[in-house]
Amino acid sequence: MRFDVVTLFPEMFGVVRDLGVTGRAHAQGRWSLHAWNPRDFTHDVHRTVDDRPYGGGPGMVMMAGPLEAAVNAAQEARAAQGLGRAPVALLAPVGRRYDQAGAESLAAGDGIILICGRYEGVDQRFIDRCVTQEISLGDFVLSGGEIAALAVIDAAVRLLPGVLNDGDSALQDSFNDTLSGLLDSPHYTRPEVYEGEPVPAALLSGHHANIARWRRERSLALTVARRPELIESARARGWLDKADERYLAELTGTWDPASETPRRKRKPARPAKASDAS
């Protein structure tokens, strides 16, 4: 898999290229990273890549020309390597939020060209001509797209076959289908008692089914408290079994022991109509 990054700060990408899990995978040749500096595609002595915004206002805007030339160079380098044209993604707060499904779909392809904006953003004509998708890291504004691009690359690379030491460990992570798309359960390691706090007894029992049930219930409890929409989505996909539904209903006090099912929510009372008064 090949990542091409268009950035004014290529040195920032040493973080994923050289360190940790992604660094090891890079050294093993499982993925490659190529940085393109738009300044190398300028034609003036100052290597200008930005200018004032038309219409006035604060800040500067990245010019279309150097960005488009950098993208073309990246596509040509990919073609020379026998790869097809890559999608071109601009990191932008106005983009679609990056998530685990996005990382999975990226990991299934052969790479992408990531454009890191700076200043107030990039000339819209570059976006219209060259960009196939806009990706946001979340509802906040960074100083530049590099940190967002690093997150995009890291989340995708760790899903590539053979990248994680324990091949199963990505399957146990939050949002994974194997975990029904729920949040991960808490983790503990030695010492068995830390500052008076013991490890939960279920994890010390050695009883695999009990440990699995404990983890599942912690996942359900955490997810219902923090990300209830993930519970709804797991339910809609048929990923919650009877034991899960019972646990969730017990948590919310809606378990009906007589019928052994969650009590149905009462329908809200019909709003009174004017005609009811007569």
Q: Which of 10, 65, 93, 102 is in the footprint of ligand SAM by CB under 6 A?
A: 93
Residue 116 or residue 157: which is nearer to ligand SAM going by CB? 116
Examine the residue annotation and report whether 120 is marked as an active-site residue of this protein. yes
Examine the residue annotation and report whether 118 is marked as an active-site residue of this protein. no
In the set 2, 17, 78, 158, the catalytic residue is 158
Which residue reads 């983009």 in tokens?
95
- What's the rounded Cα separation, in Å, for the pair 67 and 38? 6
- What's the rounded Cα separation, in Å, for the pair 157 and 22? 6
Give the containing element (helix H, strand E) for 197. Answer: strand 197-198
What are residue 108's phi and psi, to 5 degrees?
Answer: -80, -15
Is residue 126 a known part of a binding site? no
What are 85's two structure tokens? 């044209």
With contacts defined by CB under 6 A, name the span among 13-21, 67-75, 112-120, 225-233 that binds ligand SAM.
112-120
- What's the rounded Cα separation, in Å, for the pair 77 and 135? 23
Phi-psi region of 219 (alpha: psi -120 to 50; beta: other; left: phi over 0): alpha
Is residue 140 a known part of a binding site? yes
Is residue 137 a known part of a binding site? yes
Q: For residues 117 and 50, is the Cβ–Cβ distance under 8 A?
A: no
Q: Which of 43, 46, 58, 94 is in the footprint of ligand SAM by CB under 6 A?
A: 94
Under the binding rule (CB under 6 A), the answer on residue 136 touching ligand SAM is yes
Examine the residue annotation and report whether 184 is marked as an active-site residue of this protein. no
Q: Which of 64, 73, 142, 202 is in the footprint of ligand SAM by CB under 6 A?
A: 142
**What is the closest distance, in whole angstroms, from the C-beta atom of residue 101 to ligand SAM in the complex?**
17
DSSP 271: P
Q: Which of 116, 127, 131, 182 is in the footprint of ligand SAM by CB under 6 A?
A: 116
Is residue 203 a known part of a binding site? no
What residue type is assigned to position 275 of the chain? S
- What's the rounded Cα separation, in Å, for the pair 50 and 59? 10
Under the binding rule (CB under 6 A), the answer on residue 102 touching ligand SAM is no
**What is the closest distance, in whole angstroms, from the C-beta atom of residue 139 to ligand SAM in the complex?**
7
Q: Which positions lie near ligand SAM, rule CB under 6 A? A: 91-94, 116-118, 120-121, 136-138, 140-145, 148
Catalytic residue numbers read 93, 120, 158, 173
Binding residues: 117, 137-142
